Chain A
């Protein structure tokens, strides 16, 4: 079986999840690779979810919230924005390509935008290929030959 990207998507309840729902009810076609998890606000997005997703086998993580200024809780998405910049930097330092993580804004009326972003992010992950976490066995075999 050929490889398909596995992507974890964290969508806020008020804008992006509704937007993704609209993409579905509008019968838009887009890749099915993103497994959507609904949360009340991207401000709830603990960075640990990102690391946990990669450890559990995700090849990419996308977070989507309300447009800046539109947050149902006023500034949850700004909290996420600040985290996202630091998450990308830490991922790169830990040796994971920062493009495997993305933050986007999709409003409740933008079903087409969600469909477009999903296709685009899935393509990015497809190009990067599967995330192979370095295990001891790979390393020991390469470098520990006495």
Chain B
């Protein structure tokens, strides 16, 4: 009997699924070795098929997407129970990713904006989604949205992590081939909590640009200048999250003049990537007078959204606090 494989998406964009399909013809090797039992994006299985399985029936579950509503949470708990090995696959499941930025607001603030205030919304009667709707034909239920977006490991026990937004296809293939190898030869699994399909240095280690430890008088956004392709982007005033990001992606972004956005998550021993970025940026600012420091920092746009773009939900504070309310 073939080992069973499940792929699931919770609160995510679908990019991780595309990255899986991007392994090209090797998908046939995967389908050949595994019996795929759940893959909502590509195949027709129902939740009740999974619910009917005995616990531990699924050998490997690649779970992408963060947890932000009752359906996500139900599926996370269900797949945890049914899977021998549960992998938080991609940045959303690993650390909350872009959906995690919703943690700067409350659910009510988000709903007020989306269903009332946004310029393209017309909602005169003030209708908001209701989790339970009673109709003459019966009752309809939709998932309830939570206030806080959570990475998978804040909801269930996670065995391994594959970082990236999305994980690079060559890395996915490495991971799957390694798993197949382990299963075929009965080798021991790597220690629990291992980060698979990534390096153990920072993105800067893979980046081909040269750092000259320059100091800057002004931050610029990527569209404002044409960067020198050989020099460190930070030296040129562009905020690059490379110093606070794990290697493994091959530094594809910086190779084409785009700063690292931090999607491979924090490097080893980094507790909070945002704090790491505060350190990194502070060391390039060319000023030692408070007023000048402030005027240089004034050219920096949205520090929280930039430093914590992929990991606010997994950061030390985990979400925006409500002492000083951020305006939506």
**Chain A positions near chain B (C-beta within 8 angstroms):** 46-48, 50-52, 54-55, 68, 75, 78-79, 81-83, 85-87, 89-90, 92-98, 131-134, 136, 139-140, 142-144, 146
- Chain B 20-44: CB-based contact to A (< 8 A → 1; otherwise 0): 0000000000000000000000000
**Complex interface: chain A residues within 8 A of B107 (CB):** 139, 143-144
Check B51 for interface membership: any CB of A closer than 8 A.
no
17 more A-B residue pairs beyond the given contacts A79-B283, A144-B107, with a C-beta to C-beta distance below 8 A: A47-B272, A51-B317, A55-B316, A81-B293, A82-B285, A82-B287, A83-B282, A86-B282, A92-B324, A95-B322, A96-B317, A131-B323, A134-B321, A136-B146, A139-B107, A143-B107, A143-B147
Check B281 for interface membership: any CB of A closer than 8 A.
yes
- Across the interface, do A48 and B276 meet the contact criterion of CB distance under 8 Å? yes
Question: In the complex where A85-B294, A139-B148, A146-B144 touch, is A96 in contact with B321 (Cβ < 8 A)?
Answer: yes
CB distance from B136 to the nearest CB of A (A): 21
Q: For residue B302, which residue of chain A has the nearest CB? A: A93
**Complex interface: chain B residues within 8 A of A98 (CB):** 324
CB distance from B141 to the nearest CB of A (A): 10
Q: For residue B286, which residue of chain A has the nearest CB? A: A82
Q: For residue A140, which residue of chain B has the nearest CB? A: B147
- Across the interface, do A85 and B279 meet the contact criterion of CB distance under 8 Å? no
Q: B128-147: which residues lie under 8 A (CB-CB) from chain A? A: 130-132, 144, 146-147
Check B290 for interface membership: any CB of A closer than 8 A.
yes
- Across the interface, do A48 and B132 meet the contact criterion of CB distance under 8 Å? no
**Complex interface: chain A residues within 8 A of B319 (CB):** 134
- Across the interface, do A95 and B320 meet the contact criterion of CB distance under 8 Å? yes
Q: For residue B324, which residue of chain A has the nearest CB? A: A95
Question: In the complex where A51-B272, A81-B293, A90-B303 touch, is A136 in contact with B323 (Cβ < 8 A)?
Answer: no
- Across the interface, do A94 and B317 meet the contact criterion of CB distance under 8 Å? yes
**Complex interface: chain A residues within 8 A of B147 (CB):** 136, 139-140, 143-144
Check B182 for interface membership: any CB of A closer than 8 A.
no
Pick the contact of B288: A78, A83, A143, A146 (CB < 8 A): A78
**Complex interface: chain A residues within 8 A of B294 (CB):** 85
- Across the interface, do B278 and A87 meet the contact criterion of CB distance under 8 Å? yes
From B130, B144, B278, B287, residue with most partner A Cβ within 10 Å: B278
CB distance from A127 to the nearest CB of B (A): 13
Bound: A98/B282 CA distance, A: 18
CB distance from B133 to the nearest CB of A (A): 11
CB distance from B104 to the nearest CB of A (A): 8
From A48, A96, A131, residue with most partner B Cβ within 10 Å: A48
- Across the interface, do B316 and A48 meet the contact criterion of CB distance under 8 Å? yes
